[in-house]
């Protein structure tokens, strides 16, 4: 299967900044996650409207945590430990595409059993986004890949030069936050990642 390239917003940028970056990079990525933990549903809806207005394809949008916003806009949802469970969400909305963030084999299996379409596992490499928490490493990633049948996307500190080792571990894709959204030139960076696919 084609490897997936997900990018994730930081939650620290304005709607204008997120929209400006997303509208440049969307042709080079498979999914753009809106991880905007402090935004209300209404603010997220405004961001969604702007993204769609600027030509970001709906099929590439993923809302973190907010099942309500995902349903209303017909986009995917990414669930986290603080979200509703995958099982609950899939029971109510069987056709909703659901990803789940996991940090262990047990969590990955639970996500799979609940009906998750894919999981995101991390953090694989050291990252400022998870300061003080040791990275889980590429071996652990390979173990997760071996433990579930759903696609496993790797996250955490992934730089372009890491990509071959992530493929070797069997991951179905990569998810990148600061490497793209905090870059001086996000478009140049997504192209650098893309070259590794
Ligand atoms: C949002 C997120 N989730 C993680 C997890 O391990 O679940 S690591 C992470 C941050 C990823 O950011 P960067 O690409 O800047 O390292």
Mean per-residue pLDDT over the chain, rounded: 97
Note whether 144 and 123 are within 8 A (CB).
Answer: no
Q: What ipTM, to 2 d.p.? A: 0.98
Q: Name the catalytic one among 26, 33, 103, 123.
A: 123
Q: What is the pLDDT of residues 57-105, one digit of tens each?
A: 999 999 999 999 999 999 999 999 999 999 999 999 999 999 999 999 9
Q: Which CATH superfamily is domain 4-194 in?
A: Aldolase class I (3.20.20.70)
Query: Which residue(s) pair with 4 in the sheet?
Result: 173
Q: Summarize the chain as % helix, strand, coil (round to 5).
A: 45, 15, 35
Residues 6+ apart with CB under 8 A from 34: 9, 18, 44, 47, 48, 61, 62, 63, 64
> Is the CB–ligand 1 distance for residue 123 below 6 Å?
yes
Q: What is the mean pLDDT of each run of 10 residues along the chain (197 residues)?
A: 96 97 98 97 97 98 98 98 97 98 98 98 93 93 98 98 98 98 97 97
- Ranges of each domain in the chain: 4-194
Q: Is 94 exposed, middle or buried (0-12, 13-18, 19+ CB in 10 A)?
A: exposed
- The CB of 179 under 6 Å from ligand 1? The reply is yes
d(CA 100, CA 102): 6
Percent of the chain whose pLDDT exceeds 90: 96
CA of 68 to the centre of ligand 1 (A): 23
């Amino acid at each position: 299967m084609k490897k997936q390239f997900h990018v994730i917003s930081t939650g620290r940028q304005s709607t204008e900044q997120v929209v400006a970056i997303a509208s440049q990079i969307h042709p080079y990525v498979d999914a753009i996650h809106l991880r905007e933990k402090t935004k209300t549903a209404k603010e997220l809806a405004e961001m969604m409207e702007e993204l769609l207005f600027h030509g970001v394809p709906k099929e590439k949008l993923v809302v973190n945590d907010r099942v309500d916003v995902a349903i209303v806009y017909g986009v995917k949802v990414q669930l986290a430990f603080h979200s509703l469970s995958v099982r609950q969400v899939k029971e109510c909305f069987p056709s909703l595409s659901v990803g789940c963030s996991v940090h262990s084999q047990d969590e990955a299996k639970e996500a799979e059993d609940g009906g998750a379409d894919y999981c995101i596992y991390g953090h694989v490499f050291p990252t400022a986004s998870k300061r003080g928490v040791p990275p889980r490493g590429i071996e652990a990633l390979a173990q997760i890949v071996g433990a579930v049948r759903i696609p496993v996307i790797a996250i955490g500190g992934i730089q372009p030069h890491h990509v071959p080792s992530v493929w070797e571990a069997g991951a179905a894709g990569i998810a990148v936050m600061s490497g793209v959204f905090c870059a001086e030139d996000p478009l140049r960076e997504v192209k650098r990642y893309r070259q590794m696919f």
